[in-house]
């Protein structure tokens, strides 16, 4: 299971913890959606994951998270993107104990609604 690229593994004293990339994606999407100024997540052409607009790449004992988002008109893009990065990294690290190497925010559109 640890060799499967769909899981990230954390070795503990009593054994291993295996967490699916889908779990990391779901936590990331939930954290991003709570940031003020985000309108929603975008569909990405990637392997099927549980969370829309999130792509997770597992590297050894860390993860790189790519988020594809739409923002609301009137919000400063760099500020909202930084808030998304901080929220996602904090949530994933707090809930899983794994290191987030990078959170890349891809702004694909602006909503005027």
What pTM, to 2 d.p., does this model score?
0.85
Whose structure tokens read 């993107």? Answer: 81
pLDDT mean for each 10 residues of the chain (113 residues): 60 84 92 96 68 85 91 96 98 91 95 90
Token pair recorded at residue 112: 């005027």
Alpha-carbon distances, residue 90 vs 2, 32, 85 (angstroms): 24, 11, 8
pLDDT at 82: 97
Residue 52: what pLDDT? 85
Residue 2: per-residue pLDDT: 41
Would you state the pLDDT for residue 1?
Answer: 42
pLDDT of residue 47: 57
């Amino acid at each position: 299971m640890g060799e499967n690229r769909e899981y990230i593994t954390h070795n503990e004293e009593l054994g291993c913890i295996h967490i699916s990339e889908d779990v990391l994606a779901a936590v990331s999407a939930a954290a991003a959606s709570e940031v003020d100024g985000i309108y929603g997540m975008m569909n990405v052409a990637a392997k099927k994951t549980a969370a829309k607009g999130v792509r997770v790449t597992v590297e050894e004992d860390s993860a790189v998270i790519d988020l594809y988002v739409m923002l609301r008109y009137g919000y400063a893009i760099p500020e909202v993107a930084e808030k998304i990065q901080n929220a996602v990294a904090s949530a994933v690290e707090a809930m899983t104990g794994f290191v987030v190497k990078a959170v890349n925010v891809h702004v694909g559109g602006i909503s005027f609604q």
